Structure 1
């Protein structure tokens, strides 16, 4: 079991070098620090009001409660002993990781908000045409043409707009407390790479607002039918309230919690894809549930009009490439524990998961 914190200096015979974890923290610090220096007002405002600040202050207590619950399950004879051992082995590293993540979350919101003002939404007309061309019609129409039960609309809203952030934060906390350094570093390297490549580079290269904002920004009635569908659906009014909240922040150039308009790429889809890959590498059953959730988020992003379908496709493809690259960095050659030996006699979904796992294999001899 690893007993060293994340941030350490390892002396060599000639020099002192940084561990991969320190390098990761340095990159994260540059990512967050750049946002704080360039946009100090937005960066400060991104941490929200008193409720969000109270959550940050209570986070250590919540984590201790979570560890105690895990101790009751993992070591029922001595749960406090489990908690003490975890704190000794991962306390400093986990708290450092979560603290850095909190700063990066503020930076992500800052970039998302400021980029909306700095770069016009020039790509929407192109993406709308491309989306309709490759899907033989607007994808949102196809999603709403399906004979879905009445509760499905409300369920999608809950999964996309309410549960998503809680699950993302929970998995990040879980990863921060992991003892396996290679698995932990792989996940956070992939997470930070996703934030930079998709949240900054792709965001600027494909600046777009999405179907739900299209007619407000460009005029006309290109997505009038979508707006009508939202107004008459079960959870559509709540979705439109969120859209109004984001548009008001954009129009007034005022940073608020969760502000910023961005369609390409879909960070919702990117994060659930990354978490599905991560959880699949740890446990097949949990990973299968995570992949199902990722599929629902991709569907919901189009169904509610937040994204063009291609936003999700780009996010998925990019995260898959990032995950494959991190395997080369953190998984030893020849270690195929995450591969599946055979696809024979498996259900269709298991075959799909197997192909994803096989694609992750280290190609080096």
Structure 2
């Protein structure tokens, strides 16, 4: 039996998956189709272990209990992402006469009984969860590896780049009001849902493996290079914490704007900023403070680049979202504007590198399943 025959057999027959030989073949294929992603995650995990040895702090975010809890908590988001993905495809491309019936049948054939998709996608999802857990540990370790020291430099550079004033002052006439602050606050929070949505959809995307792998590898590289390496080298806290870390009251007017708005109606940004600061001061291993580069912005651009692989319209929407995140990161005090500019450069470099790695992965895949590479 050839590999392709086993795949087709697995797609047609529910009983075939019970056979050890068929399952082993599909599992091996799934691992090989994710080999570069798995190697990236493994390398990052080894780096996290090395950091643990250096700092004498156990890598506790990777305990089996935490990983299982993370996986369980993400199952509803995964299911919602799959339904939204297939609904959007139906609404824009298929437009059937009986949408509900089509959606139910499509979910069965495309997700539930496509065993290659389930195994390959499941491997990628678990690798992504494992990576996120490792990243959480590394981010928390940044102050120990390199204490915050770059804020005054970045604040000065930011002023010089924006005509001698802080970037938030340029935005204040438009954004320093209740309506716009709440718009960017909600957009900043929506980023968390979009990140999971794009990852889950990419993991389960069998129609275009190069598109799938370009996103997953770019996403992973962006967090490794931007969120870990550069964040450690250029360790900084951002404008909102400028005064809290004894750097002066330069950004106190911005903080006052946010606190006034929060007093009227709570802002999610203020709640998170307060929690992160308290956790840092109390030594609690939750969150982690890091400003340069802006990972909200970097990953938003990676999502935008990926969206263009689907359609120019979706790509333009995501570009708009990335621009809103750039503006929001400044007016909410999370970042200096240059953190966002650096985030864009990181995203562009990682998208280029991830796309190249996806091409290499496609050459690894080709002998196994030529028909799946588009």
TM bracket (short chain): 0.7 to 0.9
Cα distance change on mapping 1:118 and 1:329 into 2, 3 Å: closer
8 A contact 1:236–1:304 mirrored in 2: no
Matched, 1:175 2:205: no
**Which stretch shifts more, 226-235 or 204-213?**
226-235
- Structure 1 residue runs of 5 or longer lacking an equivalent are 11-17, 333-365
Judging by fraction of residues, say which structure has more helix.
2
Q: Which residue of 1 aligns with 2:123?
A: 96
Correspondence for 2:22: none
Superposed CA deviations along residues 181-215 of structure 1, whole A, max 9, x for unmatched, are 11111111111111111111111111100000011
Shift of 1:36: 5.8
How much has 1:32 moved relative to structure 2? 3.4
For residue 264 of structure 1, the aligned residue among 292, 296, 315 is: 292
Q: Deviations over 1:284-311 (max 9, x none)?
A: 1111110000000000000111001111
Q: 1:231 aligns with which of 242, 252, 259?
A: 259
Does 2:99 correspond to 1:82? no
Secondary structure of 1:208 counterpart:
coil
The question of 1:28 aligning with 2:37 is answered no
Distance 2:162 2:26 in 1: 46
RMSD of aligned Cα (Å) = 3.3
Are residues 134 and 173 of structure 1, via their aligned partners in 2, closer, same or farther at CA, if it must alter by over 3 Å?
same
Residue 9 of structure 1: CA displacement?
6.0
The question of 1:249 aligning with 2:302 is answered no
Match among 213, 219, 239 for residue 185 of structure 1: 213
In structure 2, distance between residues paired with 1:6 and 1:205: 42
Question: Does 1:166 find its partner at 2:206?
Answer: no
Unaligned runs of 5+ in 2: 9-24, 361-374
- The one-character-per-residue Cα deviations of 1:124-162 (angstroms, maximum 9, x if unpaired) are 1100000001111100111113377642111110110x2
**Whole-Å Cα distance in 1 between the matches of residues 266 and 292 of structure 2?**
22
**Structure-to-structure mapping, 1:7-156, within 5 angstroms:** 8=28, 19=32, 21-32=34-45, 34-35=47-48, 38=52, 39-40=57-58, 42-44=60-62, 54-56=72-74, 58=76, 62=80, 76=99, 79-86=103-110, 87-136=114-163, 137-146=165-174, 150-156=178-184
Q: Distance in 1 between matches of 2:170 and 2:143?
A: 29
SS in 2 for 1:146: helix
The two structures have a TM-score, normalised by structure 2, of: 0.75
Aligned residue-pair number = 321
Distance 1:45 1:305, change over 3 A: farther
Q: Of the candidates 308, 311, 315, which is equivalent to residue 336 of structure 2? A: 308
**1:31 CA displacement:** 1.5
Counterparts in 2 of 1:67 and 1:151: CA distance versus 1, 3 Å: closer
In 1: Cα distance, 2:240 partner to 2:187 partner: 18
Runs of 4+ in 1 over 6 A off after TM superposition: 4-7, 45-51
Further displaced range: 279-288 or 293-302:
279-288
Q: Which has the bigger relative contact order, CA under 8 A and spacing at least 6?
A: 2
After TM superposition, the score normalised by the length of structure 1 is 0.77
1:221 positional shift? 1.5
